[in-house]
Structure 1
Amino acid sequence: MNLHTINPGLFKLDGGAMFGVVPRSMWQKLNPPDANNMCTWALRCLLIEDGSRLLLIDTGIGDKQDEKFRSHFYLHGAATLESELQKAGFTAADITDVLLTHLHFDHCGGAVRRTPDGKLETAFPNATYWSNEAHWNWAVQPNPREKASFLKENILPVQESGQLKFIDPASGLPADLSPLREIIYADGHTEKLMAPVLQYKGRTLAFLSDLLPSAAHVPLPYVMSYDMRPLVTMAEKEVVLRRAADENWVLVLQHDPAHECCTVQHTEKGIRVAETFGLADL
């Protein structure tokens, strides 16, 4: 098995929204904001190469949105999803499976592209797209608070393509997702977010998506204001981080602009970051 981090650019979000009730005087040391209180974040995805399977976890924002949308999130950086796949030695047509941790635009936008004549189509023509039914229904019938994160142009073309399949949490993992050991389901950030776990070089590696967006979010109170159920996030995060500390997991950090991975450890102040490093350093 080979793993590749895919880094399709950077974007900005409000620092207060990203750190919730934590005061700016504390979080600004972890991710310094600009004059507009905006912090830079990564759009990191994970590509798993395992025999005949080429599994992409999340797809970033993509490039089909208009300039007004892009200006809200200060998208920057020269890298794209396509260029990052090429750097790893692949094209979109090579991808066999796309697992979307959830359907917020910064995680699934690259799953659909706009053709030169303006039509929307799936960006990975030979791939099966994986979600779960509870989250899919949550996304296509969104609540008012979360509606701005679920964009129909990112979601409906996947269903219309016939490439969509649902993972049933009660039935275990489908054979096509054999590179994965398990999926952790979390309901704090959004309904039934999926965080895949796998074995790599003798270590357990977890891609926790927005359950743990960065190393700065390891302390339990550091929970985003974007989370639908922040107290649930805290409880879910504590369970996962205890497992990660006890079993020395490697955590891939999807939105951390400085660190690809970290490990965590038990301390007198609770669970804290032990080490940060790149995936290639394993």
Structure 2
Amino acid sequence: MKLYPIEAGNFKLDGGAMFGVVPKTIWNKTNPADSNNLIDIAARCLLIEDGNRLILIDTGMGDKQSEKFFGYYSLWGDHSIEKSLARHGFSKDDITDVFMTHLHFDHCGGSIQWNKDKTGYEPAFKNAKFWTNENHWEWATKPNAREKASFLQENLLPMQESGQLHFIQNPDSDFQQSSELGFGIYYVNGHTEKMMIPYINYNGKTIAYAADLIPTAGHIPVNYVMGYDTRPLLTMPEKNKFLTDALQKDFYIVLEHDAHNQIITVEQTERGIRLKETFTCDDIF
């Protein structure tokens, strides 16, 4: 097995929204804001090469939305899925599976693209199976008012219409070993219904892809919960369980949204579980 970071693009989000009730005087120390109160955000995907399979975890925003839409997110840098895949010798047509931690647009928008003449949409990975779970699919395709703007139908329905959509077997508990994809999945419900956190065994290490459970290193404290979470009081025990496992089992945590810290480990301190070390993906992979 080999792992590769796939950088799908950088953008900015409101720091207050990213940290909920935590005061700016605190979060600004770890995630400094610009004059518009925006903080740097990454869309860091992960590619697993395992035998004949190439499994891509999350796909970023994509590029099919309008200029007005992207104007809300202050895109910066020159990363793209295409360039990042090419850096490792792959193309989108090589991908066999796309695993989506959840279906918010900044995690799955790159799964779907315009067709050739821009009259409709098509899968961006034409040879891939797209994986989610049935509970989350139902939640995303019949969204509540809070999340409606994050679940864009043009990102979702073409997966189903193409016949490429597949569901992970429904879990019996909050953790399962996926027979479909070969890695462990921790299911959490605080951010959104049945978000999936992959746990990958790699060269004797556990690589945990934190998605929106811990979007940046600044979000390690259990009570530092995003304003975007639908059930913030549930996020906290889910984070605590994840971080306790990470501490006891020496996880290497891949941060999807941290533009400046790629992989972290944690340690126990007098203030609770906190950041221990930071690594680049090249250090670990």
Q: Is TM more than 0.5 here?
A: yes
| Secondary structure, aligned partner of 1:73 | coil
Structure 1 residue 203: deviation in Å?
Answer: 0.6
| Secondary structure, aligned partner of 1:211 | coil
**Partner residue in 2 for 1:213:** 215
**Partner residue in 1 for 2:6:** 6
| Secondary structure, aligned partner of 1:9 | strand
**Partner residue in 2 for 1:177:** 181
Amino acid at match of 2:246: A
CA RMSD of aligned residues (A): 1.0
How is 1:100-179 mapped onto 2 (pairs within 5 angstroms)? Answer: 100-118=100-118, 119-170=120-171, 172-178=176-182
Structure 1 residue 76: deviation in Å?
Answer: 1.9
CA contact (8 A) 1:205 1:251 kept: yes
**Partner residue in 1 for 2:18:** 18
Whole-Å separation in 2 of the counterparts to 1:135 and 1:234: 20
Amino acid at match of 2:76: H
1:135-166 CA distances to partner (integer Å, 9 max, x unpaired)?
00000000001100000000000111100110
| Secondary structure, aligned partner of 1:36 | coil
1:267 matches 2:269: yes
Structure 1 residue 169: deviation in Å?
Answer: 3.1
Whole-Å separation in 1 of the counterparts to 2:225 and 2:133: 24
Whole-Å separation in 2 of the counterparts to 1:273 and 1:87: 30
Amino acid at match of 1:234: M
1:87 matches 2:87: yes
Q: Which moved more, 1:229-238 or 1:74-83?
A: 74-83
User: How many residues end up aligned between the 2 structures?
Assistant: 280
Whole-Å separation in 2 of the counterparts to 1:208 and 1:257: 14
**Partner residue in 1 for 2:199:** 197
Whole-Å separation in 2 of the counterparts to 1:84 and 1:273: 28
Structure 1 residue 173: deviation in Å?
Answer: 4.7
Unaligned runs of 5+ in 1: none
Whole-Å separation in 1 of the counterparts to 2:68 and 2:247: 42
CA contact (8 A) 2:168 2:180 kept: no
Whole-Å separation in 1 of the counterparts to 2:170 and 2:32: 39
Whole-Å separation in 2 of the counterparts to 1:174 and 1:220: 27
CA contact (8 A) 1:57 1:99 kept: yes
1:77-102 CA distances to partner (integer Å, 9 max, x unpaired)?
11211111111110111001000000
**Partner residue in 2 for 1:230:** 232
CA contact (8 A) 1:167 1:173 kept: no
CA contact (8 A) 2:6 2:47 kept: yes
Whole-Å separation in 2 of the counterparts to 1:125 and 1:23: 45
Structure 1 residue 54: deviation in Å?
Answer: 0.4
Unaligned runs of 5+ in 2: none
TM-score (norm 1): 0.97
**Partner residue in 2 for 1:256:** 258
Determine what percentage of the aligned residue pairs are the same residue. 54
| Secondary structure, aligned partner of 1:74 | coil
| Secondary structure, aligned partner of 2:110 | helix
**Partner residue in 1 for 2:36:** 36
Whole-Å separation in 2 of the counterparts to 1:96 and 1:111: 13
